[in-house]
Chains A and B, each alone.
Chain A
């Protein structure tokens, strides 16, 4: 489960309430069938990975990974074996004697994960675990996490503001905005059927085009179209003037101005693309139109 939303939308707070680091002002938290509102964090059978990793700087990697077991009174040999196993899963066996200060960001991140894995919790809570990594490492670690999730077969609750992470990693995505839950669904479902204009614009790069109310519908409806669904057609219903052409290699983005508002189209790269200043017409298949209430922004059938 991915909790997705812009900064300050409450996703971390939600995670911390599941962890027991913060108390909900109202409502109940269930882990499995168990209501855990009054259960201490350590008894909730959860493990958390922090954005800053929160490794103990004075302990070696091995000691860091073993620490949760040590606290539980697991015998030395047993916890060393468990730590080694967790480290092996994450490719950390060569670094067991180092201190966190001697590791790169990605390695520290994996130590934090290993420390969570070693506890074998029912739920993993992750608070933007990739946001301190550079782009390449983030991509690699993302894949590793997905792999890990499949192998461990336990619940991950993953907080992020990065919709790419949400789309690629999530079994389900919960989109939050200003403390409100906007939508829950599979990534594809959320993408294909956004429940509100907020979700429509938050998920997808570039975001969905939202036409002015009254365009392609009645005046109390805003119509949205994904950029890839705008097809260049001489007899199209929408007309726009090309302001910019962005070549991304495998695709081209046409940024156009139109009476209906800004329209961005995602088209395949080919020879006879329109140039800046040219007027183009777009057609949209009716089933690719999304309709939202012009006032509330909520999806309408």
Chain B
């Protein structure tokens, strides 16, 4: 009897060890590149090439980062990225609210099929449409402009879907009570439906901001050498160097580019998790 329990405990213990080993391994796989980038950025050019000493946290300096800052004009790139990301985020929240409201509260012919068709566009990868969108932007004269960066991202199928789900969960009586009070659609959306979906809107905003901040493909197509409108992700390109001792300038720039979203993630972590699990918990 006692030995049985001991045996069970041993198996349990072993299983636990196995599980944690796997977690530790995965954590290393995920964290190591971040560690390596950070370390590279915090070393001088020559030091960063001194393998394997380059992987040890010694001889740290901010000189690379500050050089990247001035040479890459990172301040301006950050402002561009911030502007574009904020505009896209606000735009996506507004368009998602409006479209989700229509799909949740209004009655119109072919509502179901239209919604399905709309959602189905999520199946089309963004890469497929890049070339056509670029041509459209070109014909509109939007190459090298903020509107070229912002407008194509203003509608989000995922956002519409997410917000619609929340709207569908609002009690129907709220809309009825409001309509008896003479509340129109826009007012109900603005004063009742939107405030009640604030957690979801927060998560949607955060995701959109992160996505826009990190976007590379579309900005690289629509910004053609115009330094004034570059976002940070494509502007970092200019830090590339043929001088082997300055290779890690790009890494310095990367750290600068990642810092704002790192802060954002830390601050809004709970919001993010809530957004990810929103559909899962409520069903």
B174, A56: Cβ atoms closer than 8 Å: yes
A57 CB to nearest chain B CB (Å): 7
| Other-chain contact of B176, A43, A50, A53, A72 (Cβ < 8 Å) | A50
A295 beta carbon closer than 8 Å to chain B: no
Q: How far is the CA of A48 from the CA of B174 in the complex (A)?
A: 12
B interface footprint on A30-61 (CB within 8 Å = 1, 0 otherwise): 00000000000111001110101110111000
Q: Are B180 and A41 in contact, with the CB atoms below 8 A?
A: yes
Do A67 and B181 touch across chains, with their CB atoms under 8 A apart? yes
Also in contact, A42 and B176, with CB within 8 A (given A57-B196, A58-B196, A71-B187): no
B178 nearest CB across to chain A (Å): 8
Task: From known contacts A52-B171, A54-B171, infer whether A71 and B182 are also in contact, taking CB-CB under 8 Å.
Answer: yes
Q: How far is the CA of A67 from the CA of B187 in the complex (A)?
A: 11
A71 touches B180 (CB 8 A): no
Residues of B close to A71: CB separation below 8 A: 181-183, 187
Contact of B174 among A43, A54, A68 (CB under 8 A): A54
Residues A54 and B181 in contact, CB atoms below 8 Å apart: no
Total A-B pairs, Cβ < 8 A? 46
> Is B181 within 8 A of A68, CB to CB?
yes
Q: Which of A58-111 contact B (CB under 8 A)?
A: 58, 67-68, 71-72
Contact with A along B168-188 (1 / 0, CB 8 A): 000101101101111100010
- Considering the complex, give the chain B residue whose CB is closest to the CB of A50: B173
Binary B-proximity of A214-249 (CB < 8 A = 1, otherwise 0): 000000000000000000000000000000000000
Measuring CB to CB, which residues of chain A are less than 8 angstroms from any residue of chain B? Answer: 19-21, 41-43, 46-48, 50, 52-54, 56-58, 67-68, 71-72, 119
Interface residues of chain B, those whose CB is within 8 Å of chain A, are 171, 173-174, 176-177, 179-183, 187, 192, 195-196
Of the A-B pairs whose beta carbons lie under 8 Å apart in the complex, a sample of 16, sorted by A's number, is A21-B176, A21-B179, A42-B180, A42-B182, A43-B182, A47-B180, A50-B173, A53-B173, A54-B174, A54-B176, A56-B192, A58-B192, A68-B182, A71-B182, A72-B182, A119-B181
